């Protein structure tokens, strides 16, 4: 097992994120539905619970993005968990052809449920206003690009809406506001920091690429995922990260003077191959 005590304590909450969080609070009064983009491989750690209080009266739609990189059965279990909590979660990825119509359908459903819960007696007379939130690198930009590609038109200022805020109209009846990626201020455990480093939600340099590679190898070992051994052409099963990095480095020609393996380069290769799904689908958290 990995010694988590050697993982440096990470707090990564740049000043611009504090500003973005303040702006989000200000804009939330205009919003009907909050689409919270989560990484399907670790929905718990990519859920920003700092937003719970300010979003408690809004319709909330969890979207498990990058589902093509996660274990399918585990993702289904996460969807069931969210459903049990009253949220109709969507699991999808940027290559899915039906992501836009599915999202529009669920936005309409979430808004209707929220109106019913409030006891609204009159029909809605304007477009649904939705906001996308999420940690850095969970897939917000990819999702927004999909939605914008569907309809490039931007709407102008609206009554009661900040004049400088532009809205993107999606479909016939939804207007979308984007927000920058916002990290939560406090990362509680070393393992959470490692998970966020693996998906590049925080800068991997804050932890170290070799520590991240060691943790990723532990996850593969615990879940008995052997795809990476075949992918790198290893004729042994590496239980230690040094053995893995030496194996990758020598087979990929990542050598320094003196015939030593460039372990940092080998670790970066291992991490990037994981992030791209080249060495198999795997979930970092189970419900």
What secondary structure does DSSP assign to 74-104, as a single string? HHHHHHHHHHHTT---EE--TT-TTHHHHHH
Question: In the chain, helix, strand, coil percent, each to 5?
Answer: 45, 15, 40
Say what the pLDDT of residue 159 is: 35
Q: Would you tell me the crossing angle of helices 241-252 and 263-275 to the nearest 10 degrees?
A: 90
Please give the angle made by the CA atoms of 283, 285 and 287, to the nearest 5 degrees. Answer: 115
Cα–Cα distance for residue pair 210/241, rounded to 1 Å: 8
Domain locations along the chain: 4-178, 208-275
The pLDDT score that the predictor gives to residue 198 is: 96
What pLDDT was estimated at residue 56?
A: 67
Joined tokens for residue 285? 């958290």
The second-level CATH assignment, the architecture, of 4-178 is 3-Layer(aba) Sandwich (3.40)
Same fold, 4-178 and 208-275: no
* pLDDT recorded at residue 12: 63
Residue whose C-alpha is closest to residue 206's, from 4, 6, 10, 5: 10
CATH architecture of 208-275: Orthogonal Bundle (1.10)
Read off the tokens for 103: 């999202």
* pLDDT per 10-residue tile (average), the chain, 287 residues: 84 67 78 92 88 76 94 95 88 87 89 83 86 86 76 41 58 78 76 94 91 95 87 90 96 94 97 93 92
Q: What sign results for the dihedral spanned by CA atoms 75, 193, 177, 52? A: positive
- Give the model's pLDDT for residue 180: 61
- Burial-class residue 12 by CB neighbours within 10 Å (0-12, 13-18, 19+): middle
């Amino acid at each position: 097992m990995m010694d988590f005590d050697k993982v440096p304590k990470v707090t990564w909450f740049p000043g611009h994120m504090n500003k973005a969080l303040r702006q989000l609070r200000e804009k939330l009064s205009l919003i009907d539905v909050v689409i919270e983009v989560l990484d399907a491989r670790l929905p718990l750690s990519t859920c920003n619970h700092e937003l719970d209080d300010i979003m408690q009266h809004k319709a909330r739609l969890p979207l498990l993005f990058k589902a093509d990189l996660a274990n399918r059965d585990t993702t289904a279990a996460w969807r069931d968990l969210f459903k049990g909590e009253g949220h109709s979660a969507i699991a999808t990825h940027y290559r899915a052809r039906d992501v836009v119509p599915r999202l529009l359908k669920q936005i309409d459903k979430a808004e209707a449920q929220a109106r019913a819960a409030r006891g609204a007696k009159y029909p809605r007379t304007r477009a649904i206003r939705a906001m996308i939130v999420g940690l850095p690198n969970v897939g917000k930009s990819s999702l927004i690009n999909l939605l914008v590609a569907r309809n490039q038109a931007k709407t102008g200022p609206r009554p009661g809406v900040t004049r400088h805020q532009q809205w993107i109209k999606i479909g016939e009846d939804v207007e979308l506001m984007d927000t920058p990626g916002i990290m939560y201020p406090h990362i509680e455990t070393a393992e959470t920091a490692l998970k966020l480093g693996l998906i590049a939600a925080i800068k991997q340099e804050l932890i170290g690429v070799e520590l991240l590679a060691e943790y990723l190898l532990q996850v593969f070992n615990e879940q008995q995922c052997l795809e990476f051994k075949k992918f790198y052409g290893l004729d042994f099963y590496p239980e230690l990260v040094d053995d893995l990095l030496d194996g990758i480095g020598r087979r990929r020609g990542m050598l320094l003077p003196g015939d030593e393996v460039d372990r940092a380069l080998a670790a970066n290769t291992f991490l990037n191959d994981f992030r791209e799904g080249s060495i198999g689908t795997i979930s970092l958290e189970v419900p």
